[in-house]
Chains A and B, each alone.
Chain A
Amino acid sequence: MAVPLLDPLFNFARWLTHDSVEAEDLVQETFAKALRGFGSFVPGTDFRAWMFRILRNTFLTSRTGLQVKLTVPLDPDDDRLATVTWETPESLALVSATRDALQAALEALPVHYREVVLLCDVEEMKYAETAEVLGVPIGTVMSRLARGRKALRQILADDKAATGGKLDSTR
């Protein structure tokens, strides 16, 4: 029998937890919760967002998740669009980054930025769907996404400066 969404959910869980075993537990618990609460799923609505939301809520109540929650800085989560400058060197650092460097930068990103970038870029969710998963308004998704992407560019630019552009030679 097909277990749809298993791979995307596992991939997302792995990014949240940084750990493969923990990601497996998280996915298994997510499916268990989904089965128990299937009655609360409204047919015709977004099943994928519903599953991701369960997974994320489960993560936040796990041990790693609680640690993360405690360390999340009170970011200015207003609904106004973050004013983001597009410094060209940083943008270029991101474009020329290797897959490894990009993965390391994503790992280094605070989890509340990492999750929104992953949902938008990897799962290719629309803002509305991402907002449903995270349980926040669309405006918050947009401002977190802007800040998250900026932070990602910053990490890569710093990375590149630190290694003296060696990343390029490994391509």
Chain B
Amino acid sequence: MNCAEWQAQINSFADAELTPRGTQEFRAHADECRECASAALAAMETKAAVRRAGKRCTAPPELRARLLLQVQASSDTAVRMTSPKANVVNWPRSAVAAAAMILLAAGLFFLASRERRPNALGEFADLHVSTLASANPVEVVSTDRHTVKPWFQGRIPFTFDLPELQGSPFTLTGGRVTYFHQEPGAQLIFAEQKHLISAFIFRDTPQLAIPGEAFADRGTSFNLQTWTQDGLRYVLVSDINTAALKQLADLLQHY
């Protein structure tokens, strides 16, 4: 590929929309090409600058209050939504009541999904602990990624890639099949000196929609890192510090 073709990929690179392989190839090219590297850097800085500049205003409290009134008005026989330019809408009582229920349900849905985050992560921490407590923490004992990865064939309904760990502080200990909300997935155990790290890999389902990337479970003092990649949800759990966990996450993301 020539530089023009690489540069056509810069937006996708800055938007993290390239495949892991594509990202790796792009990085490899940028390592050698000063022009493409500086263009990619400019694109990423621009994205960050637009993000900061684009977050310009929050909803005025009056609007928030009006939206809430919209719900509370459900006890009236009809709601007259008046706004300077919008049409006047008359709603029959039943429709308004239904609408109020739906908004409440939507609110609860969101509260529930917010609640789910710590819960889901807590469950991963539990899985990690119960694995370590087990007499047989791993089903396939091997430090060789070319042994561990094929072992999962036919045991889980997807495949994943493992990075070369040579030269990193991490070693692969082995892996096992695990379940989360009735979904089979892979649990890989990595070691960093005496610390053990669980890497959970599942198909990304709405139940696993965890916003954010890094979490610290205060109650158990575990650190967690999570991300999605190629339709898979990765969750790392360990007692090692956040920076080290991030390092392993980076390795897994850019194998």
Give me the interface of A with B, judged by CB distance under 8 Å: 1-4, 6-7, 9-11, 14-15, 20-22, 24-25, 27-29, 31-32, 34-36, 38, 44, 47, 62-63, 81, 83-86, 88, 91-92, 94-95, 97, 99, 102-103, 106, 117-118, 120-122, 124, 126-127, 142, 145-146, 149, 152-153
Distance A29 CA – B17 CA, assembled complex (angstroms): 33
Q: Digitize B5-42: 1 where CB-to-A-CB distance is under 8 Å, 0 elsewhere.
A: 00110111001010000000000000000010011001
A-B contact count (CB 8 A): 155
Question: What is the bound-complex CA distance between A116 and B52, given in angstroms?
Answer: 16
Please indicate the chain B residues that have their CB under 8 angstroms from the CB of A24 in the complex.
Answer: 59-60, 62-63, 66, 83
16 sample A-B contacts, Cβ–Cβ < 8 Å, listed by A number: A6-B63, A6-B64, A24-B63, A28-B63, A28-B81, A38-B99, A83-B8, A84-B10, A85-B4, A99-B53, A121-B51, A122-B50, A122-B55, A126-B15, A152-B46, A153-B46
12 further interface pairs, Cβ-Cβ under 8 Å (given A4-B107, A92-B42): A24-B59, A24-B60, A34-B106, A35-B99, A83-B8, A84-B11, A88-B42, A97-B49, A102-B53, A106-B50, A117-B50, A118-B54
Closest CB of chain A to B10's CB: distance in Å? Answer: 7
Asked if B58 is an interface residue, CB under 8 A from chain A, the answer is yes
Interface of B is mostly: helix
- Supposing A28-B86, A91-B39 touch, asked if A142 and B56 sit within 8 A by C-beta, the answer is no
B54 touches A15 (CB 8 A): yes
Are B10's CB and A86's CB within 8 A? yes
B129 at the interface (CB under 8 A from A): no
Shortest Cβ distance from B110 into A: residue: A4
The contact size tier of chain B is 35 or more
Known contacts A3-B68, A38-B106; decide if A21 and B84 are in contact (CB<8 Å): yes
